[in-house]
């Protein structure tokens, strides 16, 4: 039976950081809708050109485009045992689209890990975030600095600041999250699938709570 986990939370809550760690612990692929869009931006694909119009403004890419992209990704062989979804779904329509695609695989959402965190902490985190060019490894100038400034510890590639991490865009992304994504908290709580995780703890403590919530904690 495949396992599908969702990481839900505002921009900068630590979803990407945790998804990479959980992927190793749970032995499941990490599927980040934001990373797939950014990869397409870098490669200047048609999808990338379409997505750029929204991402640079801090808006959501339209549901039909996003759902089709995730359906294609989840159909690949490496997702046969399930996946850790980071940044998808982000609207009620995307959640419905996900239910339909998982039902077609004879499966469903197993657990939604909602990372709860205050807005001001999000601004601090995103304004200091650095991401590696090669594989998207995540750092923070103050909270999780690389050993050598500007260089990824894991693969040696250059670190950069995301275009959408400018403060004005971050504030808009948080508003978009409140309007379009936050309703998913209640949606999944009512279905008994939600686990609330305190996202303001150190990275290791957040991971520990997530593993406990999915029944893999010690």
| Residue 17 binds to ligand AP5 (criterion: CB under 6 A) | yes
- The CA-based angle 119-6-100, given to 5 degrees, is 125
Distance in Å, CB of 178 to ligand AP5, minimum: 12
Contact 91, 60 (CB under 8 A): yes
| Residue 30 binds to ligand AP5 (criterion: CB under 6 A) | no
Residue in the shown chain whose Cβ atom is closest to ligand AP5: 34
Is 162 a residue of the active site? yes
Collapsing DSSP states into helix, strand and coil, what is residue 8? Answer: strand
Contact 166, 174 (CB under 8 A): no
Among 29, 58, 82, 97, binds ligand AP5 (CB under 6 A): 58
Looking at the Cβ atoms of 29 and 58, the one nearer to ligand AP5 is 58
| Residue 14 binds to ligand AP5 (criterion: CB under 6 A) | yes
Helix segments in the chain, DSSP class H: 15-26, 33-42, 46-55, 63-74, 92-104, 119-127, 167-176, 183-190, 203-213
List, as one string, the DSSP characters of 74-106: HTSGGGTTEEEEES---SHHHHHHHHHHHHHTT
| Residue 183 binds to ligand AP5 (criterion: CB under 6 A) | no
Distance in Å, CB of 9 to ligand AP5, minimum: 6
| Residue 136 binds to ligand AP5 (criterion: CB under 6 A) | no
Taking the CA atoms of 152, 155, 58 and 96 in sequence, report the sign of the dihedral they define: negative
Is 171 a residue of the active site? no
- Residues annotated as catalytic (active site), given as ranges: 15, 90, 129, 162, 173
Q: Which residues are at the interface with ligand AP5 (CB under 6 A)? A: 9, 11-17, 33-34, 37, 54-55, 58-61, 66, 87-88, 90, 94, 125-126, 128-129, 138-140, 143-144, 164, 173, 202-203, 206
């Amino acid at each position: 039976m495949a396992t599908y986990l969702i990481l839900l939370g505002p921009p900068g809550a630590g979803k990407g950081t945790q998804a990479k760690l959980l992927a190793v612990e749970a032995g499941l692929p990490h599927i980040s809708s934001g990373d797939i869009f950014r990869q397409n931006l870098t490669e200047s694909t048609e999808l990338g050109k379409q997505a750029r119009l929204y991402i640079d403004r801090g808006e959501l890419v339209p549901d039909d485009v996003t759902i089709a992209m995730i359906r294609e990704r989840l159909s690949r062989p490496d997702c046969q045992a399930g996946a850790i979804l980071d940044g998808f779904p982000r609207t009620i329509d995307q959640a419905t689209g996900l239910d339909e695609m998982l039902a077609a695989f004879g499966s469903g959402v197993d657990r939604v890990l909602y990372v709860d965190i205050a807005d001001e902490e999000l601004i601090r985190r995103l304004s200091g975030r650095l991401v590696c060019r090669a594989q998207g490894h995540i750092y923070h100038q103050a909270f999780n600095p690389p050993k050598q400034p500007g260089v990824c510890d894991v693969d040696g590639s250059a670190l950069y600041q995301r275009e959408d991490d400018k403060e004005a865009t971050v504030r808009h992304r948080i508003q978009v999250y409140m309007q379009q994504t936050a309703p998913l908290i209640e949606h999944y709580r009512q279905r008994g699938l939600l686990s609330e995780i305190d996202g303001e703890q150190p990275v290791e403590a957040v991971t520990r709570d997530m593993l406990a919530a999915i029944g893999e904690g010690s």
